[in-house]
Chain A
Amino acid sequence: MKKQITVTVNGEQHTVEVETRTLLVHTIREQLRLTGTHIGCDTSSCGACTVLLDGKSIKSCTVLSIQADGKEISTVEGLAKDGLHPLQEGFKENHGLHCGFCTPGMLMRAVELLEKNPNPTEEEIRWGISGNLCRCTGYNNIVKAIQYAGAKMRGEETPSTEPEFV
């Protein structure tokens, strides 16, 4: 069974026809061709598909496309219009990514995390991203990246990342 839905994605309105069984992540990736949102598991465990739905981070593999009808969706592609978002800058400065597969979901989760808690402790960050799995980094530098972005967004000085000699 098919149904027409209208969603605003990264500020742009789209009307698409979806099967009622289609998961939001598939509509985002296949119909809207925004492939920065990834699929890493079948059980809503990994968080690679995290996007913002009306400003709240959700795993888009757990939501049907028809549930998003009339709502606003933000994906990683819309995070920064020009240059880098402070979170992206933080990830770059702190090497918060290796293979990059979890990164879009991790970034979108962190957007909401910092919005709700602009100055989180390390523990709050760790719990805050505990629904997003990363197999490469050991999370050390992801935590630092989010701390960096938090400082930057609060207008504070960011931790130094000057190159060091070995």
Chain B
Amino acid sequence: MSSYNILGKRIKGVEDPAMMRGEAEYIADMKLPNMAHMAFLRSEHAHAEILGIDTSKAEKMPGVIGVYTESDLGSMMPLPCIWIPGTGESHFPSHPFGGGVPGGSPVLAKGKVRYMGEPILVVVADTAHQAWDAIKSIVVNYKVLPCVVDAELALEKGAPLLHEEVPSNLNAYIPYGNKEACFKAIEDAEVVIKKQIIIPRTINNPLEPRGCLGVYNEKSDNYTLYATSQSPHNHRLLLGLMILGIPINKLRVVSPHIGGSFGTKGYIYPDMPLSLFLSKKIGRPIKWIDNREDLMRSTVQGRDQKMSAIIAGDSKGKITALYCKSFANLGAYASTIGPGVATAMVGRCIAGVYDIENIFCEISAAFTNTPSLGAQRGSGRTEATILHERMIDLYAKKINLDPAEVRKQNMIQPEQMPFDNRVGWEYDSGDYPNAFEMALKAIKYDEVAARKKEALKRGKYLGVGVNCFVAISGVGPSPQMAKEGMLGGTWGSANVRVHPTGEVSVSIGATNHGQYHETTFAQIVAEELGVEIDKIEVLHSCTRNVPFGQGSYGSRSFSVEGAAVKLASEAIKAKAIKESAHTFKVKEDQIIYDSSKGKIYPKGHPEKAKTLQEISLDLWYGWDIAKVEPALDHTTYFDPPGFNFPYGSVAVEVEIDAKTGQVDIVKHYGVYDVGTIGNLQVLEGQFHGAMAFGIGEALLEQAQYGEDGLLTTPTFREYAIPRATSLPEFETDTTVTPTPHTSLGAKGAGEVGTVGTVSTICSAVTDALSHLDIDHVDIPFTAEKVWRIIQASNK
């Protein structure tokens, strides 16, 4: 039984009705008077020089207002990269102004294109159809250049060079851990296993494509950008300070309802500055809405690590060393935070939940002729978890021990917390063995052998995997992020305002794109202040709602921004107590604040109770108040002292059809510990969604590029995301170990489901195929791939 009244409860979402009635306004639904529309012409080639562009026909087409290339952009600067890995070497294309900020990617291509889908020009027209018609009439004369789409090949001598200023296409080389000690331990070990593990490119594919609407108001000299942005404040700063050079008090960024994101919409894209810049130029609002095919070719993509790993240990199950050398595919340009996603988020996570004495990871991130890399739900941590869990399975097999036994033997114990994982993170809290035991029990691990036998009679290969993970979340302590190379603050912010009429407005730095912040953040305030939940409104996703904010990414919203909301609520409560002490003429420690009833009274006199509304009204008048500022309103900025580390264990049972290779997930269980829970129903929803995401990645999804660098999976017909029939009914459990870093105690929750799922399906599928002497198969486990493996091993 929880000690909370409101927090954690399955309160139904206040967001629901608008979205279910079709009233919620997404970017594509927005319409302003006199609005014009923009469309992009994108590169048809992965690598080419642009010899000429003929726009003459387009310019004369009906409704066309203008055709704009990079030469029309004046002093607009490139889209910056703001995560420059801080601990190794890194190389970037230079910025026109020099200085510390690298030129991440051009807004529109200049003379050369470096990936299929790179924007070359835009057409602005009265209607979207007219803009598209004009785009189709434009002829670009290309000189096609040799291309490279694989990170390892890109670093080889003689590979096509993407950027003249970047030797050998190397964006970054970053080592993590102790190289000498790790190599020595491997040399001395009884058992040494090597394996290459390839984690392919994937695409987040939120159901709503991206879009924006740029508005310049000449009278006030103000700009407003409506955009599918996970991070309106950060995007405002980058647009104002680094790209357009306009004072940011003159720029408002607003995110309307966002139709999912999973990382995609946290990045700066060309349409954002272009719509603002061109709105000023033509004196009309400019709208741009992406389509699925362009989304697949031009938004940031995920994963793409080619890892070579070594695990070493003794013959009894004690792991002594883990080594990983990985080639990360950064794409053609460094996206907003791409280099950090490709390096630290993997390299510092490879220890997992294990106490491994000697670890070393070295990652080389390379530029290739593919769209830029960015975050995908569970980024870095998913790849790292696949690595350590796969290697442990292989090691267990080699020494003929049950993989569960090996995991238990090497697992970090609760009393070792906080734990230095030896590659850069300090785990805050957790009971990993408990989660693992729960998962083993849930899957009836003792009875697997019998189930395998039974399944075989039905022509099915049954396999079980039980894995463990820990997933760094809650970006984060700004000084630590600075050491990692992040050019930006990563703290939380909140304003809590108790109106003299009793309602509460809460402004948060987080941005909602399906996480139900309006419900869950209200629960924090309701719990702390005892105000009814339907009297609390949560304002978000607009740079005017909260003075400054850092947005939503990396499972930080509830754990960091929520912690700020809790602190602001605590400050409101403290002020209310001070004011009540003054009113009741008693000492502050004689005031009882009963949050369960929303009553404030002097000890022993509940009949005298005042409500928060009455106190707010007193503070509003300010006629006779305590020695405090008038008005019941508080703004908090909060930089957490450390990251938080949600963790868990996942158990999966698969059945593979021996005839078709079809992998069916027959049971999928996850136990997750995300610290303090905001709303159990919303939380379970996040688990389910993230688990589904992981299943898609494990079984179906892969962005494939031909040797010519062209994406061969640009629509939902080639790039399969899970349908209702692809998925099992999920079973989840929670345990609660609050993070010690915040008074709220919440840990990141949005990504854990994915992090644990992919590796566990790998374990289950290889277990199912173990009788065929298969010890590793790279994801995705499509029916075709598995069928081929079964056929080959039958021969």
Contact = CB atoms under 8 A, between A and B. Distances in A.
B208 interface: yes
B12 A104 contact: no
Given A35-B25, A140-B729, A164-B680, A99 B716 contact: no
A141 interface: yes
Interface stretch (B460-468, B509-517, B760-768): B509-517
Contacts of A19: 129
B83 to A, nearest CB: 25
A76 interface: yes
Contacts of B257: 99-100
Given A99-B206, A142-B724, A166-B4, A38 B10 contact: no
A23 to B, nearest CB: 11
A38 B26 contact: yes
A126 interface: yes
A40 B724 contact: no
Interface stretch (B16-24, B142-150, B307-315): B16-24
Contacts of B12: 92-93, 95, 161
The list of the 6 closest CB pairs from A to B, nearest first, reads: A36-B22, A100-B19, A101-B259, A138-B692, A99-B514, A45-B716
Contact of B207 (A93, A99, A122, A141): A99
B714 to A, nearest CB: 9
A9 interface: no
A40 B730 contact: no
Nearest to B29: A35
Contacts of B13: 92, 95
A44 to B, nearest CB: 9
Contact of A75 (B22, B24, B685, B716): B22
Interface string A102-132: 1110010000000000000010011101111
B501 interface: no
Given A137-B692, A139-B727, 17 more contacts: A29-B29, A35-B28, A38-B26, A42-B293, A77-B22, A95-B682, A98-B514, A98-B685, A99-B206, A99-B514, A101-B26, A107-B20, A125-B724, A130-B725, A133-B721, A138-B692, A141-B688
Interface residues of B, number: 68
Contacts of A132: 724
A20 B689 CA distance: 40
Interface string A138-166: 11111100000000000000000101111
B28 A135 contact: no
Contacts of A37: 22
Given A37-B22, A122-B729, A166-B677, A133 B716 contact: yes
Nearest to B731: A140
Given A45-B717, A125-B724, A139 B692 contact: yes
B405 interface: no
Name, among A93, A133, A142, A143, the residue most crowded by chain B CB atoms within 10 Å (CB to CB).
Answer: A133
B195 interface: no
A76 B22 contact: yes
B746 interface: no
Given A46-B716, A98-B516, A164 B10 contact: yes
Contacts of A5: none
Name, among A34, A92, A140, A142, the residue most crowded by chain B CB atoms within 10 Å (CB to CB).
Answer: A140
Contact of B721 (A39, A84, A135): A135
Contact of A91 (B1, B16, B260, B725): B16
Nearest to B695: A138
B756 interface: no
A136 B753 CA distance: 12
Interface in B1-40: 1-2, 4, 8-13, 15-26, 28-29, 31
Contacts of A127: 724-725
B260 A99 contact: yes
Nearest to A128: B724
B692 A166 contact: no
Interface residues of A, number: 60
A80 interface: yes
Contacts of B291: 41-42
Contact of B20 (A39, A100, A122, A163): A100
A134 interface: yes
A66 interface: no
Contacts of A107: 20
A79 interface: yes
A115 B16 CA distance: 24
Contacts of A141: 685, 688
Contacts of A125: 724
Nearest to B676: A166
B55 interface: no
Contact of B259 (A38, A140, A142): A38
B259 A138 contact: no
B557 interface: no
Nearest to B24: A100
Nearest to A78: B22
Contacts of B725: 126-127, 130
A13 B292 CA distance: 32
Name, among A34, A79, A129, A139, the residue most crowded by chain B CB atoms within 10 Å (CB to CB).
Answer: A139
Contacts of B730: 138, 140
A147 B31 CA distance: 37
A97 interface: yes
B22 A165 contact: no
B590 interface: no
Nearest to B7: A166
A40 B292 contact: yes
A58 interface: no
A136 B16 contact: no
Contacts of B26: 35, 38, 101
A140 B716 contact: no
A36 B260 contact: no
A45 B722 CA distance: 12
Interface in A3-34: 19, 29, 33-34
A73 interface: no
A131 B207 CA distance: 13
Contact of A34 (B22, B516, B686, B717): B22
B26 to A, nearest CB: 7
A34 B292 CA distance: 21
Contacts of B24: 100
A48 interface: yes
A12 to B, nearest CB: 15
A36 B685 contact: no
Interface string B706-745: 0000000001110001111101011000101000000000
B595 interface: no
Contacts of B22: 34-37, 75-77, 104
B1 A165 contact: yes
B753 to A, nearest CB: 8
B205 A164 contact: no
A3 B293 CA distance: 30
Contact of A129 (B129, B513, B724, B729): B724
A138 B689 contact: yes
A60 interface: no
A132 to B, nearest CB: 8
Nearest to B206: A135
Contact of B515 (A33, A98, A102): A98
Nearest to B30: A35
Interface in B316-330: none
Name, among A95, A107, A134, the residue most crowded by chain B CB atoms within 10 Å (CB to CB).
Answer: A95
A65 interface: no
Nearest to B204: A135
A57 interface: no
A100 B514 contact: yes
Interface in B663-707: 677, 680-682, 684-686, 688-693
Name, among B15, B22, B685, the residue most crowded by chain A CB atoms within 10 Å (CB to CB).
Answer: B22
Contacts of A134: 207, 724
Given A161-B10, A166-B2, A99 B724 contact: no
